[in-house]
Amino acid sequence: MSYLEIKKVNGTEYASFVKKFSLMGKNFRINEHIGKNISTLDKKEYMRNNLDALSEKEFEMRKPLLENLDMAHNKILLFDVELMSIRVNNLMEIKENKETVLIEFAKEFIFNSNNIEGSKIPAQEVKKIIETGSSKHNIANEVREVYNSIDAMDYIQKGFKFNIASIKRLYYVLTKDLVMQNGEPYPRGFKKESNVVNNMETVPPEMVESRLTELLDHYKKNRSNSHPLELAFDFHLHYEEIHPFLDGNGRTGRLVMNRILMDHGYFPVTIYSDNSRAYFNAISKGRDNKRSYYQFMMEQTRKTYREFSSVIERL
C-alpha cells in the first residue's frame, strides 16, 4: 500500500511518498520526502520517475531477511528475483493494469501448464480462446482443458480455501468432462491406486488425506514467518510427492503454488514447457536435493518476472 502523505509545517504543506509492506511477520515503511505540496503532484508520476530508486530502497529493506535463505547456488539469483518482484508490483501500481496483466499471464500459464502434461494445442489458440471464447482447434479435449483451466484460475483466486474440500473442488473444476490419455474419464476424488511418477514413489492412496492435511497445517503454521517463495515452492514439492489424484496433480499443484505467491504479494510463476524435463527431474530429486529444486524454480521465476516486466510496460 502506497500513498502521498501531506503534513503542514508552519503553515506550509509538505509531501512525502509512503509505502507500507510486510514480509515474514515484519512490518516495513518507506518514507521519502518529496518537498512542498503542489497541485500537480501525483503519486503515480512520482513512482514512475523514481521507479528504480524506490524498488532498490524496498529491496534493501527486505535483503536482511533473505540472507539465511538457502534457495539457490548463489545469492545473486535470489536477490535478482526479489528485486524484480518489487519492480513488477511497482510497475502494475503505476500503470493500474493488474487485471489486464493477469489475463496476459493466464494465456502464458495455461498454455505452458497444459503443454507440460501433453496437450498439443498451440499457444495462439489458447490466446484466442481466452480472448474470444471460441476455438476451431480439432482436438475437443484440449479445447475443454483450456476452458477448464480458465475456470480453475478463477476459482483459485476467488473461491479456494486451504482445505481438503477446496483441493478436491479445484481438481474437479480442472478435469470436468475431460478424458485422460487412455480415453477414460477422469475419476472423481483422490486416487484409489498407487502410482509411480518419474521413477518417484508417491504416497499410497490410504495416506493421501492425512498427508495433505499435514501439508495444509504446515502451510498455515508457517505462512506468516516463512519467505513466500520458499513457502510456495515447498508446498508444490510436497504436494507432488503426495500426488493425491490419479492425474492432474501437476496442474492443480502449480495453481495452488501461485495462489500462495499472490496471497503474499508476489507475482505468479509460469513453469515453461520447454523446461519440462528439467522440471520433472527437479521434483524427482527434490526430496534429496532441495537446493537444486529451488534453483530450478527460482530460474523459472526470474524468467517469468523478466517477461512480465516487459509485458506490463508494453500494455
Q: What is the DSSP string of 133-184?
A: S----S-HHHHHHHHHHHHHHHHHHHT--SSHHHHHHHHHHHHTT-B-TTSP
**The C-alpha cell that represents 104 in the structure block:** 496476459
Residue 72 CA to residue 180 CA, distance in Å, equals 36
Residue 175 CA to residue 170 CA, distance in Å, equals 9
For every residue of 210-272, DSSP letters joined together read HHHHHHHHHHHHHTTTS-HHHHHHHHHHHHHHH--SSS-HHHHHHHHHHHHHHHTTPPP----
More confident position, 315 or 220: 220
More confident position, 182 or 169: 169
Residue-wise pLDDT for 28-49, tens only, equals 999 999 999 998 999 999 999 9
Q: Where in the chain is the domain with CATH 1.10.3290.10?
A: 98-314
- Amino acid identity for residue 145 in this structure: E
pTM of the model as a whole? 0.96
Place of cell 490419455: 181
* Residue 309 reports pLDDT greater than 90: yes
State the pLDDT at residue 287. 83
Alpha carbon 229 to its chain centroid, in Å, reads 9
Confidence of residue 315 (pLDDT cuts 50, 70, 90): confident
Are 133 and 151 contacting, i.e. CB atoms less than 8 angstroms apart? Answer: no
Q: Look up the CATH number of domain 98-314.
A: 1.10.3290.10
Residue-wise pLDDT for 72-125, tens only, equals 888 999 999 999 999 999 999 999 999 999 999 999 999 999 999 999 999 999
- Measured over all CA atoms, what is the biggest interatomic distance in the chain, rounded to whole angstroms? 78
State the pLDDT at residue 30. 98
Residue 269 CA to residue 258 CA, distance in Å, equals 6
State the pLDDT at residue 15. 97
